[in-house]
């Protein structure tokens, strides 16, 4: 299966279990791997047979910067469901949602949730 990868997309959202996270917000990063057959797109040099990166970015942005959720799992699930619904030729989608500098005890660079969904 061919892959399109969008790496380290950056957003500002209001997700988290703590009240301060939903009031103040924080940075989030998203990595995507989109799996589909790209042979027709490559052969015909046709975006309609591929996936528009700008549209993908806008969809992810709307979710991450949209309605606050407590869990990264909930945000990640919304992204995978939206992308699979939007692109019928997309066979598998892997989303990694990264929360840099999480407000939890200890010293962490980040925490993340990775989710893969297929047709």
Predicted local distance difference test score (pLDDT) of residue 76: 98
Question: End-to-end alpha-carbon separation of the chain, Å?
Answer: 13
* Other beta carbons less than 10 A from residue 64's beta carbon: 23
Tokens of 47: 């975006």
Q: 2-118 architecture in CATH?
A: 2-Layer Sandwich (3.30)
Domain extent listing, the chain: 2-118
Tens digit of pLDDT for each residue in 45-103?
A: 999 999 999 999 999 999 999 999 999 999 999 999 999 999 999 999 999 999 998 88
Q: Which residue is it, tokens 């606050």?
A: 68
Q: Is 0.85 surpassed by the pTM of this model?
A: yes
User: Is residue 108 scored above 90 in pLDDT?
Assistant: no
What average pLDDT does this structure show over 107-116? Answer: 92
Q: Is 99 a catalytic residue?
A: yes
Helix (H) or strand (E) holding 32: strand 26-36
Task: Assess contact for 36 and 51: CB atoms under 8 A.
Answer: yes
Tens digit of pLDDT for each residue in 4-47?
A: 999 999 999 999 999 989 999 999 999 999 999 999 999 999 99
Catalytic residue among 10, 23, 70, 99: 99
Predicted local distance difference test score (pLDDT) of residue 107: 76
């Amino acid at each position: 299966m061919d892959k399109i990868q969008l790496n380290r997309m950056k957003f500002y959202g209001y997700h988290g279990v703590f009240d301060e996270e939903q009031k103040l917000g924080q940075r989030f990063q998203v990595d995507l791997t989109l799996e589909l057959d790209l042979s027709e797109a490559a052969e015909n040099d046709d975006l309609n047979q591929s996936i528009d990166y700008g549209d993908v970015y806008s969809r992810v942005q709307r979710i991450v910067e949209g309605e606050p959720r407590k869990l990264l799992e909930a945000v990640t699930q919304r992204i995978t469901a939206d992308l699979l619904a939007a692109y019928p030729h997309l066979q598998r989608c892997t989303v990694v949602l990264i929360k840099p500098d999480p407000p939890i005890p200890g010293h962490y660079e980040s925490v993340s949730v990775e989710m893969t969904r297929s047709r």
